[in-house]
Structure 1
Amino acid sequence: MITTTSDKAFSLVGSQYAVADAKPLSPDDYRDLVKRRAISILHITPDEQEWADNEELRRETEWKIMEKIHSDSNLLPIDFLSKGVERAKAVCRILAPSGLGTGFLIDRGMIMTNHHVLESAQEAGNSYAEFGYEENGNTIKLKLKPEELFITSPFEELDFTIVACETAGIEEIVPVKLLRSPTTITRGEYANIIQHPRGRKKEIALQDNTVSYVYEKVIHYITDTEPGTSGAAVFNNQWQLVALHHAGWYTDKAETEAVNEGIRISAIVAKLIALAQSGDAAAVQLTQKLEGTSPYLGFYDVEGLIDDSGDLAEIEIPSFKGDKRFADIGFWNIEHFNSSVKEQRVKDIARIVSEMSMDALGLVEVERGALDQLVKELKVRGASMDYVYLDAGSRQDLAVMYDTTTTKVELRNDINRKYSRLLASTVNGKPAFPDNREPLFALCTVNEEGQDIQFLMIVVHLKAMRDALSTSRRTVAAETLAVIIEDLKQTDEFRELPIILGGDLNDDAGSASLRPIMNSPAVITLTLDDAQAGYLSYIGNHQSLIDHIIVTKDTKTGVITNGRQKDDAGIVRYDKSMADYLKNISDHVPLVLRIVYKDSPAEIGTLTHAPGPNVIWAEESTLEKALLKLNLSRIHLEEERQYYDADKDRFDMVNYYRSINLQGGGSQLFQQLHRLLLDTHTSIFSYASSRAQLYSGVDLRENGNLHSLYSGKTLDAEQLIQEDFRTEQLRQEFMASLALHGQANEEGFQEMLEEKFVYNVEHVVPQSWFQKASPMKGDLHHLYICEKECNSYRSNIPYYDFADYNPEAYRETIRNECGKRGGTIRFEPESGKGEAARAVLYFLLRYPGKIQKQGRVDINLLLDWHKNHPVTLHEKHRNQAIYALQGNRNPLIDLPEIVSQIDFGG
């Protein structure tokens, strides 16, 4: 334990602290950086041939970038300040025994700062992080936990430390994500620094630092104020993290101008990846959550930061040959493989397919006539192959080609029909899946030498182009695929079967448009590490990795090797071994993976996902996904799928309460149930995500509509979803406007927001009773649909029963169909008493001691309501749905009779 902290603030001032081996970028690398920033800032489409070795064009473009930046310096988007405020929440003050520094949250319970602030795990163990240490802020002091995670790079290398910390009170702070790309800032752009200078309250150097030079590992930025603070976060104008502030020095004796030096985040990320590949478990945990992609390898990237590039896991392979120990699966966009294909091209493609010896190969942009020719040519080469085909009615159809000696494939058009309403989703009248290019679903069974494996294969070809409409269509398609896969995994047929999705997704792994499918909790993207390494699948003019393989987490992938390199997927670069591949074959190369047969002793790939709670942030609850899930829920009801599966629920209940002594009672039973609810609460939802879950499925009634908790009125779910997202948008715009005028921190601001922007969701335990803290705020068990008028009418008033109410003591009011109120201290709902009572009792079990102030909860009243208003079918449906989402259950719904055995005094 530390008892004192030095008042000294870490701030390295002096040119002697500059990184010693700051190598400048090569002319080619710097020219490429300027070109890529011009794409982002000037919105140009560069001619690659024109840019080759053209320094004059680089200088001209760089001047245009600077001119654009400085001419627009006072014209920033309206949300610039509100985004900055959100970023600032993640910045904290570090209190170490030897001094004060700055740090920032990079993941849930993980902080980054400088090595010279926290040099060792021992020092970190005696240090704290202070969040909210700012004007009008609520300071939260948390202990650092190096025993859980500690990574450091010495001062003379990259001068960073990453350490775990406690999370109580900061659950809803959105971390500052580490980005893989080294192309986030260039010379002439502004750098914004959020810091605790000299240990003071949080401050921001806004539009006050201009980048003067970009090196391989560091950037320099000039300011006319004091040098920055050790461990501060450095952002570009899009609030992307670009550097970790490291040191600074004055350039003149009068100290009127300072040069700051920041360690490039891309260099730190590359170091983390190198550590992960060498077996560092902490680095593995961090790199699994990296965002963005690197457009190339070797540009102040992984090369040069590790001793042997053979240690990398990402793998490109010159060729591929199937192996009978595995089910070999691939995906390939052959490009324009239509009925008019030339005979020589058919022969060339047949050579590749026969050499690969795949069990199943998903094909994109094909036609039946060309495939028939391919099958004949393969037969000439001794390969017995056939195909199933999804006719989109265009020249860009989909197929799965398979080895008839090892594999059986069944085209599952019934899945397309089942989800037809989702697959028909549109954006501004345009289909999310263009030209009728719905996904191809195929059930594959591979059997070799007495071993077998079955899996569902999904072949896709999403909308191309990067304009706003095309991106939106691709995003909705990705949302649709995520919803379908998540739903399939809930069915008896596919619950235990791997699902493998692949094809041409037409965007990068780190893109916003593919985030819905790649961030789905059901899947892992096998090509993500290849994207981070800068590998390619599209080898045309705008080289990139836009073909991907995504698998559900129950997939046992085999290892693909290339010499010493190993990976769970491979990119087959035939263009490096075949002359004129790009001209004669395709501008895409195949992607492959292997699945291990059931009970096979073969080596399994490193397909892992981090354990622990799955925090679902508000931005993941998009309008599109909420509407898709609502549509899906209604489809299930129309198909007469059970609204509530009683048999399954009984089975789940037996397993869930197996560890509880239900014959016991008193405080012991209370504590047992509390521990069970806590330990099984494995998914923590933000409030926005919870609202979307309520609207789209959790709170639906048997007829597919919603009912208000307090009034019992029927409400339209689609209308509520759209209204909710409109309200959230207006709320964000209003916050940005107030922030622009400096009013965001005024007293009563949050209360005013809550009163002005009300949602159609009721916290049965009002938010003000637990300071709006997480996970209580988003816990689905005490959230119910309730129209905003009744929500506002109840406010945060405790429940009451007016049977023996004295009308002379209080002024009694009645809100039509919402309930009855006595002043501001009593409220009795018109309906929903039993549901409300059981939700509050759950809250007391799950969060003992969290309700502030005595007298807000009348236990006897709740027990009476629980007894007099039995558990409804709707509650059982909710409880089952929430169990699938959150992981925990409400015992008062499952076992209503045990309520008399529990001592709710804890």
Structure 2
Amino acid sequence: MTTAEIVSATETDYLSQMAMAAERYANRTAQREKNRAVLRTRGVLYADEPERVEKRLARLGVDWSLAMAIEKTPSEPMATAGSTLPLPPESFGSNVLGLERLIGRNNLTPVAFLEEGSLVARSVGRVTISGPGGGHGTGFMISPSLLLTNNHVLRSKEEAGRSVVAFGLQAGIDGRPLVPAVFQLEPQRFFVTHRDLDFSVVAVAERGAQGEALSSFGWLALSGAQGKVILGELVNIIQHPRGEPKQVALRENQIVDVLDQFLQYESDTELGSSGSAVFNDQWEVVALHHSAVPKTDADGRPLSIDGTVWTPEMGEHRLAWKANEGVRISRMLQALHEVTLTGTAARLRDEVFTARAAPLPVEGPTPPAPAPSLDGAADGAGPDGSGAYVTGGTVQLSVPLRITVGVDTPVFRAGTVTAPQPAYTPAPTPAPMLPAVGRVDGSAAAARDLDAALVSLRLAEVRPYYDRAADLAARDAYYAGISTGDGKELRRALTALLEETHSPRPKYKPMLLVYPWVDLHKDGKLRSIYSGKPFSAEEFIRADAAVEEARLARMQELLLHESTMGPAEFEAEFDALEASMSFNCEHVVPQSWFAKQEPMRGDLHHLFACEVGCNSFRGNFPYFDFPGFEEVVRDDCGMREDVGFEPEEGKGTVARATLYFLLRYPGLVGDAPGEFPKNRLPDLLTWHDNEPVSEYEQHRNAAIAEMQGNRNPLIDHPEWARTIDFSGVWP
């Protein structure tokens, strides 16, 4: 089979696509205005869904804590290396610049951005259809043999058969036109079209009219992975507007809405740019441009640029428009993947998903690229659910037991090592597949986390430690509408508020989220929550980075034996690994009580700096208040016996953190032997009363609210502790 068409009753000419785009645009008016309001008042990190924002940050090589640190740090426009931040040159890397650029703090970008854009543009060509219904559009190569454009540009195999694509149809640096290379389209080898998603994929001849090699123009490697673009981000479009020489709309196009299948953006693209590639700042293709959203009169009729009712006879260039729409690349890939093909056509289609990128002509090695995955798909998962796949910057290992390991990049993936792939592929030679085990560079992953944590720490040195007036205003707004008349209703209202506002929900990574800012005291030191001993934040950051590197190395050894171990044995080995290589961080509600599950594990309200010795001494014993005459095991960290653990320091702080946890996760802990029983509540309330809320806790509370959205009511309103009816928080 060499051709396929996914049938739809919808007409596929441009007017129909335009009408449907206009209808979608109109139906989303309220949501779009809400998006704009958030972008205007809070910024790009808050307009989209938290999960999408987190994935976007992970793809840029940064995390939420670093984003918050940069956002809250005062600007210094004349700072080193062009940064708006007070950072020394060694702290200012491409991840910081990319994040500043994303959130609008800095418009600078490395010059390589233009160089890579020039390479990417080589794969974009003008499509010309001769004969009846002829005209121009834009298309771009997505594999060594296949070109992607719109269905309304190439509606049928017959139409594609009388069409060509011209690469290099543009002006040179001297302003004079270059001689384009013209290639015949070959739908007899491959042609797939989709009317609803408005795309067509067609084969291109290997040689041009003058013998040019198609391979010399490369292709754009597509990825269905999430995190390529978010609401409010500026995108770039390389196009042939109205069939004119190649042009680029550079960072003038803002994403204003994200639909399930489409992106809508406001830009300077011209009609006739149908089939153009829409890129993010990393030159990854995020959408296939396909339609304008026209301005209309009261009757819904499209208007021309002079305000009169537009008719097709006027030409598309006379149409007035207010926005543009593109098909999400992940949805296009999914639809292409689902088409049933055989023989040569199947092989050509598979190249879109399997063609590997060759090194770009830049210094330094380029790792092999992964095959694109679809949004929500499990890359490399076997039919039985075994294997490994990537989701949101972590590695999920299924054996079928699933264990989450905090590794950003590189990652394990179905027997290969994958890394971010360049957008442009200048040659068709596939890179060899590399074995996963023994090749993941744990030291590089730990080093990236270390660098990010140290940048956050440097920024903490110039940030105001605690703004009391601003925090009081934020507190009052947060609890507006909460009634304190009834203790049971107060508990229920607080539980609902804490869950609703817990967004985003960061994963457990104390070196990035706890030490550089959240848990700092006013003197810039960390203090162990149980012993009160002071430590420098950098000391704990570097120690945890070393532990992370060692854990990753040991994980590779475990994976070597994964196939010979059952789920229980693998889980036991993994738990033993974590226990033997601990971070300097304490969960006041022990992880074993909630099986190390998120969001509890990464909830910052109950995470505190704590040296490994104190962490081990407490173990998972519940808190207990020992009478002075009791014979107990004593340590600098506190007292311990079979009935529980009493810390030497921080009783009020850990009491309020534990009470927060009980409110946030009612019914989760307390029923199993050794967990927190109801009869220990008076101890917590006594500790809370005896040690008032400190400025350190207020700083923590405000910092955590920045990072995960919710607050600790026991810090904000200590007087509520005796009003809240806690009886409903136990199972």
TM-score tier (shorter): 0.3 to 0.5
Bigger relative contact order, structure 1 or 2, given CA contacts below 8 A and separation 6+?
2
TM-score w.r.t. length of structure 2: 0.47
TM-score w.r.t. length of structure 1: 0.38
